[in-house]
Amino acid sequence: MRLLLAEDSALLREALIALLERLGHTIAATAQTAPDLLAAFGRLSDAGEPPDLVLTDVRMPPGNSDDGLRAALTIRASHPTQPIMVLSQYIADTYARELLTLPEGAIGYLLKDRVNRIRDFATALETIAAGGTVIDPDVVQHLLGSSRPSPLDTLTAREREVLALMGDGGSNADIADALTLTDAAVSKHIGNIFSKLGLSPVEDNRRVRAVLTYLQSNRL
């Protein structure tokens, strides 16, 4: 996999390069500031070789606030399917919420201090590059809060089981196998879940939204 890495800390940037190369990936370009990230992505895209994944921090120069995250949103605005992983110590409320609800998926938000196993980090990279979504539960808890009434109260016991398996990353086929259901039954349960949670059929990211609701309710 070819990656564009944006990290302003020289020490951490070099450590990530070494780790990513050890995992078999290639560093297509690096950036130390948010403008550098946008410029590097532009060069790669103009050359017809966009990165397979952008890995960026949140707090980067020049503003040292949420510049890296805003740069990621700028990239997604022009390239809606570009896979992006945010790896940071911080949660930028507004822009993080905007990033994680983008309809095309291929998004991740992990907290540096909570990445305890290299294998999990490697799997997250592959999942995001393949169009999936990986979100640290602490990010979910922070963004959605824990004081709201749970919208899951309207779900049946079976629908809760289906949603729990969705939260574990299960596909429809995985859920059917785990619960000994037909594919049609699983699809019907998921449709009921979307309806009861108020997720419109026109929302491309409603599966992600349903999982976010499940994670919030269980205070992960």
Confidence tier at 204 by pLDDT (50, 70, 90)? low
CA–CA–CA angle 63, 66, 68 (5° rounding): 90
The per-residue pLDDT for 126 is: 95
* Percentage of the chain lying above the pLDDT 70 cut: 90
Reply yes or no: is the peptide bond before residue 35 cis, omega within 30 of 0. Answer: no
Distance separating alpha carbons of residues 8 and 27, to the nearest angstrom: 16
| Residue 50 shares a structural domain with residue 76 | yes
What six digits make up the tokens of 205? 């990211």
| Residue 84 shares a structural domain with residue 161 | no
| Residue 168 shares a structural domain with residue 85 | no
| Residue 174 shares a structural domain with residue 128 | no
Of 142, 172, 202, the domain-final residue: 142
What six digits make up the tokens of 133? 């979504």
Starting at the earlier edge strand, list the strands of the sheet with 84-88: 26-31, 2-6, 53-56, 84-88, 107-111, 133-135
Distance separating alpha carbons of residues 56 and 111, to the nearest angstrom: 12
Phi, psi dihedral angles at 5 (to 5 degrees): -105, 125
CATH, residue 180? 1.10.10.10
Of 121, 142, 163, the domain-final residue: 142
Confidence tier at 90 by pLDDT (50, 70, 90)? confident
| Residue 111 shares a structural domain with residue 72 | yes
| Residue 170 shares a structural domain with residue 136 | no
Of 125, 142, 159, the domain-final residue: 142
| Residue 191 shares a structural domain with residue 213 | yes
| Residue 31 shares a structural domain with residue 95 | yes
| Residue 49 shares a structural domain with residue 121 | yes
The per-residue pLDDT for 146 is: 42
For residues 126-138, average pLDDT: 89
| Residue 43 shares a structural domain with residue 14 | yes
Where is pLDDT greater, at 78 or 166? 78
For the segment 31-61, what is each residue's pLDDT rounded down to a tens digit?
Answer: 999 999 999 999 999 999 999 999 999 999 9
The per-residue pLDDT for 201 is: 61
| Residue 25 shares a structural domain with residue 131 | yes
| Residue 87 shares a structural domain with residue 179 | no
Domain hosting 97: range is 2-142
Number of domains in the chain: 2
Pairing of strands 53-56, 2-6: parallel
For residues 189-215, average pLDDT: 75
The per-residue pLDDT for 5 is: 98
Average model confidence (pLDDT) across the chain: 87
For residues 131-146, average pLDDT: 77
For residues 192-211, average pLDDT: 74
The per-residue pLDDT for 110 is: 92
Where is pLDDT greater, at 16 or 134? 16
The per-residue pLDDT for 157 is: 85
The per-residue pLDDT for 216 is: 61
For the segment 141-199, what is each residue's pLDDT rounded down to a tens digit?
Answer: 777 654 455 667 788 888 888 988 887 778 889 899 999 999 999 999 988 888 888 77
Please name the amino acid found at residue 93.
D
| pLDDT at 139 > cutoff 90 | no
CATH, residue 80? 3.40.50.2300
